[in-house]
Structure 1
Amino acid sequence: MSTTAAHPIGGAVARVHAALDEVAGTPSWSMSRAATAEALVEVSRAEARLVEVRSRLLSHAETVTVAETNASPSVAVWHSNATRSTKRESFRQVRLAEGLDRYDLVREAVGRGEVLAEQASVICTALDDLPDDLDAGVLEQATRALVAFAEVHDAKALRVLGRRILEVVAPEVAEAWEAEQLDREEREAERSAVLRLREDGQGRIKGSFTVPLLVGQMLERALLAFAAPKHQIATHAAAAGESEQDEAPVPVRRPTAQRLGAAFVELVERLDPADLPRAGGVNATVVVTMSLESLQDGLAAATLDTGARLSAATARRLACEAGVIPVVLGGDGQPLDVGRTQRFFTVPQRVALGVRDRGCTAHGCDAPPAMCHAHHEDFWSHEGHTATRRGRLLCPFHHRRIHDPEYEADVGADNQVQFHRRT
């Protein structure tokens, strides 16, 4: 490596390389569990400090026109070529450098290794999104608050906190600003909603879509319900003609994208045409035409009203689904606390737990409510009650852990569960 040792920054970089050369190839098998954990944390801090140095150098590269050395259109492009990184990554690093230039408090925290690059990027974006006419003192308070939040929150949580930071430092202006921002975003989301479908000539239709946040989350929740293992087991059992008492086969685990794709297919197939708008006096449904013989046991293909063809087996399967009416479970006025009369939490109780817990309550876990179990704080087997106030959401992994005698669980003031292995 070639560095200008006369400058302190160049010299420091050279010493970093020299220090790493000393441990290159050193086996780590002799490190204890505690030493390994500590070293991993310290490596993250060191990476953050190097990011701060890199950001200062990228900013200085603009000043001394480094890009002109090979006629690159920008420092980001020059950096991409010089370091063999993707242009996307180099532009991201340049944007972070520009953000750290604007917010000294964030840059200093990164330089101390207290804020990681991913966190700093989120903080700078959140600060950039604040009103242009915000008082400088309020902006500094917001910056300090987000830097403090970074000590205990990851970048994902900081993104949420950043959108609500004015509620913490300037509640008198937060409500009006948030209302204006949400209105603008929702209007833009509605205008930009698109759906593209195209046949690929191999019996499939491919597509892409962009929808408002609320609609997307509604769709995701519906798909997660269809993709849930319990639903898959019930579906396999029904298809095999087994009763609820029979031991149903466990479904094969597939990548999430494939599971959601299968769930999307089932969701569309189960739509009740009676609930859909009419077009030309006819329900929005696809008409399948085939002979009775083919429907029963024939091999001839069926014809859709669009002229497309599908197998007789698929047509028979769809015929079996005809007349299935979705039923909405639950209703107004249902009690949330049902005591010992019912072991499992009801749908309204699950909704209440989801609103309160917003997902798995294990510290550091971000599993959404739809992927969580409802756990009895007072174990049912120990005369516990099925009550919302004594329940919590836990993902399957942490639900097993809270019943595992090898672990002890403590609930903090923030309703988060901390797990500790018993010694």
Structure 2
Amino acid sequence: MSYAKVRALTRVATPETEERLLAVGRAGTAEHVERIVRGWRRMDRKAEARETARRHTSRALHVYQDEDGMVVLRGRLSPEVGALLVQALAAARETLYQQRRASDVSAETSLGGVSAETPTLAQQQADALALLAETALHRGMDPGAPGERYQVVVHVDAPALADPEAPGQSVLEDGTRVSAETSRRLACDASRVVMRHAPDGHVVEVGARTRTVPPALRRALQHRDRGCRFPGCGL
């Protein structure tokens, strides 16, 4: 096993997890092991709570008007909210792309091959944000049903999901760690896929996607409670 893998594993290994982590180290690349370790690294309960609180307190969004009248945005979002925004922007960009594509076909047909210039990525992001704002106001802030491609994915070990005190990974798809409490809050109203791993870390079974709360029950709870009752959620 390479030094890079050993160095990463020694940051989080305990007598209880050593055997499983060694299997991961032997089976994966150094980059894969490093990503797993980032999620596995377990701070003590108080330190993790302080870090989560610090992130939450540092959230901010500044909106101001520039000298030429353009509106400027600058902000800091928690990892899970940032991932949600990135996915929403991607979905909006895809919608706008399909609209432009249809318009270009129509323009080429009527004007003999003349089509509009393709916007830059930064311009596409700005247009996507405008579409998100317009859609939110039009829908009355109803989040609706998310598309499969644009879901925010959180990988969390079952013990950590059941008990925040238990060791285990709790990470976003890109490897960014979120607290076990955050994973539990997100799991209150999310789709769930159970994946089982062999001792060497390989996936041996992937279950069907199910919802933690069925739609009918969710509507009943929304009517009764007028929002989520998970501590600190506020939705």
**TM-score normalised to structure 1 length:** 0.27
Structure whose CA Rg is larger = 1
Tell me the TM-score normalised to structure 2 length: 0.44
Greater RCO, CA 8 A, separation 6+: 2
